[in-house]
Amino acid sequence: MTDLIARRRALLGPNVPTFYADPVHLVRGEGVWLWDAGGRRYLDCYNNVPHVGHCNPRVTDALCAQARTLNTHSRYLHEGLLDYVERLVATFEAPLSTALLTCSGSEANDVALRMAEAMTGRRGIVATDATYHGNTALVSHLSRSNVPEVGFGLGGFVRHVEAPDSYRIEDPDGRRFAAGVQAAIDDLESSGVGFAALIVCPLFLNEGFPTQAPGWLQPAATVARNAGGLLICDEVQSGFGRCGSHFWAHRRQGVVPDVVTLGKPMGNGHPVAGVVTTPQIMARFRQAFRYFSTFGGNPVSCAAATAVLDELEARGLQRHAERIGRLAHERLSALARRHEAIGDVRHSGMVFGAEFVLDRSTREPAGDYAERVVEAMRASGVLLSRLGRHRNTLKIRPPMVFDESHLDLLVDTLDAVLTRLPIAG
């Protein structure tokens, strides 16, 4: 282990993130389970990339069959790309009927921002102050929590609005958030940058997946449209049925975005991502920019991505996510009645968690405590993390095949950990 960490430092450089004080050395995965080099099994409550389960046989079979048949780029004709895009866009509402495939969500968001520039002739982007949309020079500036020192001055095009926080900020219908967006737009306009787009994850997942009434995002969307800008929904984390109630989380928000970006779970771990938009926006972008990606939309990526859609349908995983999410909420709420440290319980389908506070009356965030819980859960064989504006909320976002028995194990383990760990320790 020490040897692996030393090798990482030498080969990859400093500051390469690992999870946990004692990082896990993984060797095998199956469904919701991961095994380390010592043969120990972990319940994976963290990873959304293996959407239909680690090493899902339908996906790996499709991947392998296609990799052994043909893998090439989209300058030749291939039905795999067209069949996949046809099927993908059929899950969207009109007029979202065209797609561009990339290798990563970062590349997808990099394209989405340029679509906004192409449509509006302006460059100002509004995002929340607790989000993350990727790692290219352009999109990295959307993260305020991790402002890069480098990035070709692109931060000047971004304005951040206060992230929603249903536990602390009164904003039942999203008007307060919309007012923040309007202020950011006004600032972009008065500074001469101009406003091109609002980009949000429709679950506000990194922000702590606040509880929101259906349609909560509508006022902000209206503000963005009235200012002549686009609404970009980054569904890299929230999409493909994870939110349970809908296949795409923006539908729960009652909005039709101009551009939707996809990623992580799309190929169950195979590097494939994309942008879905209207024919008008796609045409404008493709006229302004002769985009080509060598790997984007290759037959192997499309085979993996198609198998993910097949598996989601065949196993009814969206409905399953809704049911498990509701159950998880109930079970975590029951824990909250016995553990003072839990200030709030939230869920959106197969994303759920508990927010830790030092004191329920002040709601003071207990970030350090959350970290201790995450470490103790790892020591107890359950992998999860923390997130949110105050990094004090458990991030539980397992593969979609996570079922009731897994939930039992998760909640029982958490119960034991919270019982063992005094909040003010």
Stretch that binds its own copies, among 171-179, 289-297, 348-356, 389-397 (CB under 8 A): 289-297
363 binds its own copies (CB under 8 A): no
Is the backbone peptide bond immediately before 210 cis, with ω within 30 degrees of 0?
no
154 binds its own copies (CB under 8 A): yes
Stretch that binds its own copies, among 152-160, 172-180, 314-322, 367-375 (CB under 8 A): 152-160
* Of residues 97 and 245, the one with the C-beta less far from its own copies: 97
CA distance 171 to 187: 22
H-run or E-run covering 87: helix 79-89
318 binds its own copies (CB under 8 A): no
Interface mask (CB under 8 A) for its own copies, residues 111-140, using x and -? --xx--xx----x-----------xxxx-x
Which 218-257 positions form the footprint of its own copies (CB under 8 A)? none
55 binds its own copies (CB under 8 A): yes
Longest dimension (CA), the chain: 63
Is the backbone peptide bond immediately before 164 cis, with ω within 30 degrees of 0?
no
**Residue 267, C-beta contacts closer than 8 angstroms, at least 6 positions apart:** 59, 301, 304, 305, 308
91 binds its own copies (CB under 8 A): no
Which 25-54 positions form the footprint of its own copies (CB under 8 A)? 25-29, 34, 47, 49-50, 54
Output b/e per residue, 187-207; b: 16+ Cβ within 10 A. Answer: ebeeeebbbbbbbbbbbbbbb
Token reading at 161: 């609005």
Cα pseudo-dihedral 144, 146, 148, 153, rounded to 10: -10
The least CB distance from residue 110 to its own copies, in Å, is 5
CA distance 12 to 10: 6
* Of residues 89 and 179, the one with the C-beta less far from its own copies: 89
According to CB under 8 A, which one of 130, 272, 302, 309 is a site residue for its own copies? 272
CB count, 10 Å around CB of 215?
14
301 binds its own copies (CB under 8 A): yes
Stretch that binds its own copies, among 148-156, 205-213, 219-227, 322-330 (CB under 8 A): 148-156
380 binds its own copies (CB under 8 A): no
Stretch that binds its own copies, among 77-85, 181-189, 244-252, 362-370 (CB under 8 A): 77-85
Token reading at 222: 């209206």
